[in-house]
């Protein structure tokens, strides 16, 4: 990294760097003090780098310690997922179909949210165009919400629209997929024809691609899941062993923390997948939604750095060995026991994983019984740290002590009796 640059105030050659980010230069202390009023909102220990293959990404401008807050980021765009349960467009809390917005008809959590600032422009537009949502059934996820984020994009000021457009959309790759045919017929048709919004088809499909590629999921109490587009966080490269974690505050601002020490000049990374997914699941998700093939150190290791998230126990040698991929970066490669060398085809593994994931998703998570039964049923098949087993165990940790019949005082009572 250069130790010389131009002063941020007078543009003369300068060698004095901002101690906080190491990315801005000054000719002297007076100009540094003069510039601080503006720079303090941008002073972070990171900068944007660019690579022909990776595109734009974030790197550390100084050594960052584990646990440090690296940066905060506010969303450019935020709203429901493309398929969502009823959600209040005023505050993003669970909504009731029995409380429609008087202006546009979309479900709200209460009448006061009809006047929420973030809902005003979209509500007025729909009302002016004579559109009124007619949602009667709130018992299942609704695809009608797919139009909300593109609508909000169309109402952004020009400066923010340019920022959204600067992010990767992979539009040409996605344009031929079945999903984009659905979006063209429904979302584009609704915005361009029904609401007569002055945006092109490529603009609408482009922002859908930007959201698919870059948005982060935000989980709220009550089961609400949102998608937020964060301009700085969007530039973090993916790694299946990321060096950051992120949380969201009550205002949906993202706070990004270092999970390990990050050395100056190193990429600042996030993960675009679920940490408990196996290599096959992660790579398939990244290929389908982010349009790239992950070849990180974790994906390249059959044992996934010793976690064995994709491993199953070998039936040929009574569980003494672990069945692992012989070439994890090749989806068609056979799987082999590391004890007796018995093999299975990749198709067998994929089919088995899909069946297990489907079964796990359908398990009743209002109590521990079905999750415990799942673990018992597959204990001779799943390695103890297999991803499916860990997902069930994680769900159990959230149930024990928190649901009727299994509160801590009840569990401790039975512990005293039986242990």
- Domain positions in the chain: 1-43, 77-229, 279-399
Res. 416: pLDDT tops 80: no
Burial classification of residue 23, based on how many CB atoms lie within 10 Å of its CB (0-12 exposed, 13-18 middle, 19 or more buried): buried
CA 409 to CA 399: how far, in whole Å?
14
Burial 293-316 (b: 16+ CB within 10 A, else e): ebebebbebbbbeebbbbbbbbee
> Tens of pLDDT along 186-220?
999 999 989 999 889 999 999 999 999 999 999 98
> Tens of pLDDT along 346-401?
999 999 999 999 999 999 988 999 999 999 999 999 999 999 999 999 999 988 88
CA 50 to CA 237: how far, in whole Å?
11
pLDDT band at 418 (very low <50, low <70, confident <90, very high): very low
CA 221 to CA 230: how far, in whole Å?
21
Helix (H, G, I), strand (E, B) or coil at 257: strand
Predicted local distance difference test score (pLDDT) of residue 70: 95
CA 362 to CA 370: how far, in whole Å?
10
> Tens of pLDDT along 329-360?
999 999 999 999 999 999 999 999 999 999 99
> Tens of pLDDT along 71-118?
999 999 999 999 999 999 999 999 999 999 999 999 999 999 999 999
> Tens of pLDDT along 132-144?
999 988 888 899 9
CA-based nearest residue to 163, from 273, 56, 294, 27? 56
The runs of H, that is alpha helices, within 276-407 are 279-289, 297-300, 346-362, 369-377, 387-399
């Amino acid at each position: 990294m250069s130790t010389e640059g131009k002063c941020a105030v007078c543009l003369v050659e300068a060698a004095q760097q901002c101690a906080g980010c190491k990315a801005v230069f000054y000719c002297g202390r007076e100009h540094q003090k003069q510039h601080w009023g503006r720079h303090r909102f941008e002073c972070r220990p990171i900068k944007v780098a660019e690579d022909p293959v990776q595109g734009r990404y974030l790197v550390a401008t100084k050594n960052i310690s584990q646990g440090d807050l690296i940066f905060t980021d506010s969303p450019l765009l935020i709203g429901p997922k493309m398929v969502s349960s009823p959600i209040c467009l005023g505050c993003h809390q669970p909504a009731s179909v029995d409380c429609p917005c008087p202006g546009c008809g979309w479900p709200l959590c209460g009448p006061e949210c009809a006047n929420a600032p973030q809902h005003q422009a979209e509500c007025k537009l729909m009302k002016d165009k004579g559109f009124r949502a007619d949602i009667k059934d709130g018992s299942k996820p609704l695809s009608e919400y797919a139009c909300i984020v593109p609508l909000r994009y169309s109402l952004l000021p020009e400066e923010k629209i340019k920022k959204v457009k600067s992010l990767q959309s992979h539009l040409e790759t996605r344009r031929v997929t079945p999903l984009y045919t659905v979006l063209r017929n429904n979302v584009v048709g609704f915005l361009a024809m029904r609401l007569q919004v002055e945006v092109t088809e490529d603009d609408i499909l482009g922002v859908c691609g930007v959201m698919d590629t870059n948005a982060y999921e935000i989980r709220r109490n009550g089961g609400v899941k949102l998608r937020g587009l964060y301009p700085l966080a969007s530039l973090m490269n993916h790694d299946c062993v990321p060096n950051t974690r992120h949380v969201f505050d009550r205002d949906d601002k993202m706070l990004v923390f270092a999970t390990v020490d990050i050395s100056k000049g190193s990429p600042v990374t996030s993960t675009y997948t679920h940490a408990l997914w196996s290599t096959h699941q992660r790579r398939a998700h990244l290929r389908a939604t982010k349009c790239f093939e992950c070849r990180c150190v974790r994906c390249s290791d059959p044992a996934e750095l010793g976690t064995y998230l994709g491993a199953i126990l070998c039936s040929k040698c009574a569980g003494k060995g672990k069945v692992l991929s012989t070439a994890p970066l090749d989806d068609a490669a056979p799987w082999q026991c590391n004890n007796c060398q018995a093999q299975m085809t990749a198709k067998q593994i994929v089919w088995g994983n899909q069946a297990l994931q489907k079964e796990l998703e359908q398990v009743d998570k209002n109590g521990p019984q079905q999750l415990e039964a799942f673990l018992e049923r597959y204990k001779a098949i799943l390695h103890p740290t297999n991803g499916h087993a860990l997902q069930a165990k994680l769900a159990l940790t959230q149930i024990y002590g928190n649901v009727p019949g299994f509160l801590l005082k009840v569990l401790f009572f039975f512990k005293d009796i039986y242990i």
